[in-house]
């Protein structure tokens, strides 16, 4: 967990949301950013056919796309790195972005004051439990009666960076998988804007307690 020790305004920092699929979190964050007057540069997707890009087009939200299926991994990441540099992005917010960010991109977001990359990700489990894909499904199948969501700083590993926020939900006896996922998603939509408030607004330096 993180604690706040020092005030340094980050209010004017820009951020870009990265998403690959439906984008319910991305849309939620975009709306929150508008309300709070945060400098959201728009939404990026690596999939041209993603629901989130259609939503952006219909709703006039600035959007960017580099098709990961069209390029080699190296070429894709080089193009993404160039785009992020051109846009002058300060923070990356990963909202269902299904690709790994390589070191050559991560390193451009390193903030030595907080000793972290200025990148956060939302994950549908109580990390370190169930990193990787299909986390709700795996927790449900495992019979877990307590699950949750995590928002964490991104590091070189997969879903391994320091936790910024975590919140639990309880599974009821009669819950089906769909109910379980619904509880998780609703918590995601509640908590991600709070995480955004922490990194944008505040006026803080984050230091690991551990
Ligand atoms: C969410 O469950 C998030 O935790 C995970 O990917 C999913 C994205 O959902 N990283 P959506 O596209 O925001 O609806």
- Quick one: pLDDT at residue 134? 98
Q: What is the DSSP string of 20-44?
A: SS--HHHHHHHHHHHHHT-EEEEEE
> Which atom of ligand 1 is least distant from the CA of 124?
4
Location of structure tokens 């998403």: 19
* Most ligand 1 atoms within 8 A of CB, residue of 17, 51, 52, 95 to mutate: 95
Beta strand residue intervals within 86-162, DSSP E = 91-94, 110-111, 116-117, 119-123, 146-153
Backbone angles phi, psi at 179, to 5 degrees: -65, -40
Cα of 108 vs centre of ligand 1, distance in Å, is 25
Residue nearest to atom 8 of ligand 1 (CA): 96
- Quick one: pLDDT at residue 205? 52
> Which atom of ligand 1 is least distant from the CA of 25?
13
List all residues whose CB is within 6 A of at least one atom of ligand 1. 19, 21-26, 95-96, 122-124, 188
Find, among 189, 183, 114, the residue nearest to 154 by Cα: 114
DSSP 8-state symbol, 160: -
Q: 196 pLDDT exceeds 80?
A: yes
| pLDDT tens digit sequence for 86-117 | 999 999 999 999 999 999 999 999 999 899 99
CA-CA-CA-CA dihedral for 152, 127, 179, 198, to nearest 10: -20
**Catalytic site includes residue 123:** yes
Do 148 and 166 contact (CB within 8 A), yes or no?
Answer: yes
* Most ligand 1 atoms within 8 A of CB, residue of 17, 25, 134, 182 to mutate: 25
Q: Read off the pTM.
A: 0.92
| pLDDT tens digit sequence for 58-76 | 999 999 999 999 999 999 9
Do 90 and 15 contact (CB within 8 A), yes or no?
Answer: yes
Q: What is the mean pLDDT of residues 185-202?
A: 94
Cα of 7 vs centre of ligand 1, distance in Å, is 31
Do 130 and 156 contact (CB within 8 A), yes or no?
Answer: no
- Quick one: pLDDT at residue 209? 39
- The first and second tokens of residue 136, run together, are 């709700």
Express as a percent the part of the chain with pLDDT over 70: 90
Q: 34 pLDDT exceeds 70?
A: yes
Element at 54 (helix H, strand E): helix 51-58
Do 45 and 19 contact (CB within 8 A), yes or no?
Answer: yes
* CA atoms of 166 and 177, how far apart (whole Å): 21
Contacts of 28 (CB under 8 A, 6+ apart): 189, 192, 193
Q: What is the mean pLDDT of residues 46-66?
A: 98
Do 118 and 109 contact (CB within 8 A), yes or no?
Answer: yes
* CA atoms of 105 and 90, how far apart (whole Å): 12
Q: Which of 32, 63, 103, 123 is catalytic?
A: 123
Q: What is the mean pLDDT of residues 165-175?
A: 98
Find, among 56, 120, 123, the residue nearest to 93 by Cα: 120
| pLDDT tens digit sequence for 124-161 | 999 999 999 999 999 999 999 999 999 999 999 999 99
């Amino acid at each position: 967990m993180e604690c706040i020790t020092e005030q340094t305004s980050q209010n004017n920092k820009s951020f870009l949301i990265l998403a690959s699929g439906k984008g319910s979190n991305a849309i939620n964050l975009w709306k929150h950013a508008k309300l709070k007057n945060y400098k959201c540069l728009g939404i990026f997707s690596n999939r041209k056919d993603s629901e989130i890009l259609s939503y952006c087009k219909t709703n006039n939200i600035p959007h960017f796309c580099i098709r990961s299926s069209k390029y080699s991994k190296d070429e894709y990441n080089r193009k993404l790195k160039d785009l992020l540099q051109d846009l002058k992005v300060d923070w990356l917010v990963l909202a269902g972005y299904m690709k790994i960010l390589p070191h050559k991109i991560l390193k451009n977001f390193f903030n030595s004051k907080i000793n972290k990359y200025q990148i956060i990700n939302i994950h549908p489990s109580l990390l370190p439990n169930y990193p990787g894909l299909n986390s709700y499904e795996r927790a449900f199948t495992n019979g877990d009666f307590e699950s949750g969501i995590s928002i964490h700083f991104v590091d070189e590993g997969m879903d391994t960076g320091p936790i910024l926020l975590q919140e639990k939900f309880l599974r009821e006896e009669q819950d089906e998988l769909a109910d379980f996922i619904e509880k998780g998603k609703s918590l995601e939509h509640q908590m991600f804007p709070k995480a955004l408030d922490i990194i944008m607004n505040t006026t803080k330096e984050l230091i690991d307690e551990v």
